Amino acid sequence: MIDLHTVATANGYKASIMLEEVQLPYRVTSYDLVKGEHFTPAFLALNPVGRLPTIVDHDVMADGKPLAVYGTMAILVYLAEKTGQLLPDSGAARAKIFEWLGIISSDVGPAYSGQFVFNVIAKDKQPWAVDFYNKLCTRMLQPIEQQLTKTRYLAGDDYSIADIMAYPVAAVSALRFPGSLDAHPQMARWAAAIGTRPAVQRGMKVPA
């Protein structure tokens, strides 16, 4: 059994989609970020940086306790390797998947995190920061759009954890800003296809 500690954000949906895709049983604990529930001593014992999502695999022991894995990229890779799904064992296809995992994790994700902070959370809006992150997010969508002009899925012709990592960017983040995918037709085509997958539809409803 896997415990999923999560929140209704783009990153949270990535973990629940993955669990649905690989069909592993899991239990959900949701958190209120505004109330700081992810900084309680109990949760910090699982994840010392207090980030969501986090999974706990009760079938695997580490240091005498069930294994906790945190960080969206780490969770997707762990579950893919645990089940032998959505990630090749070796070769160019695996390398391309990791390339896109890195781009989404290190470039696209932080851009949208900053955009959310300065556009939504900040009480004192700073025009320079709003403008900077809006432009950065617009720029970050271009490599995805360009790639999808060449391949069916993000890392090639097969659906993979790279697509799970990126899909909530299109389904959640990009709908917040720029508001639609009208300027990115290949992303729109790709997101629409992924959105029809039953596992994706179920995962996007977690937490309820």
Per-residue pLDDT of the chain (208 residues), as tens digits, is 999 999 999 999 999 999 999 999 999 999 998 888 999 999 999 999 999 999 999 999 999 999 999 999 999 999 999 999 999 999 999 999 999 999 999 999 999 989 988 988 888 889 999 999 999 999 999 999 999 999 999 999 999 999 999 999 888 888 888 888 999 999 999 999 999 999 999 999 999 8
Whichever domain contains 145, its CATH number is 1.20.1050.10
Give the pLDDT score at 175. 83
109 plus 140 within the same structural domain = yes
Q: Are residues 180 and 107 in the same domain?
A: yes
The two structure tokens encoding residue 152: 């069916």
Q: pLDDT at position 149, please?
A: 97
Q: Are residues 141 and 174 in the same domain?
A: yes
Residue 121 pLDDT = 83
Domain boundary among 29, 54, 86: 86
State which residues form the domain around 30. 2-86
- 84 vs 21, 57, 131, 142, 200, CA distance in Å? 12, 16, 43, 31, 19
Do 186 and 128 share a structural domain?
Answer: yes
CA distance 28 to 43: 14
Among 15, 150, 121, CA closest to 77? 15
CB atoms within 10 A of CB 160: 23
- Examine the domain organization and report whether 64 and 156 are in the same domain: no
Question: Is residue 16 located within the same domain as residue 101?
Answer: no
Domain finish residue from 49, 68, 86? 86
Residues 54 and 140 in one domain: no
Give the span between the Cα atoms of 161 and 113, in whole angstroms: 21
Instruction: Based on the fold, state whether residues 189 and 96 are members of the same structural domain.
Output: yes
| 99 in the same domain as 182 | yes
Question: Residue 116: what pLDDT?
Answer: 85
Are residues 45 and 126 part of one domain? no
Does residue 106 lie within any of the structural domains? yes
Position 192 in a domain: yes
Which tens digits make up the pLDDT trace of 118-177?
A: 988 888 889 999 999 999 999 999 999 999 999 999 999 999 999 999 999 888 888 888
> Tokens for 32?
């209120």
The total of structural domains in the chain comes to 2
Residue matched to tokens 């064992």: 89
The residue from 36, 51, 86 where one domain ends is 86
- Is 208 within the bounds of a domain? no
Q: Are residues 72 and 135 in the same domain?
A: no
For the question of whether the overall pTM of this predicted structure is more than 0.85, the answer is: yes
* Residues contacting 54, CB < 8 A, separation 6+: 4, 5, 6, 43, 46, 47, 68, 69, 70, 75
| CATH number, residue 69 | 3.40.30.10
**What per-residue confidence (pLDDT) applies to 100?**
97
The pLDDT assigned to 8 comes to 93
Q: Are residues 79 and 109 in the same domain?
A: no
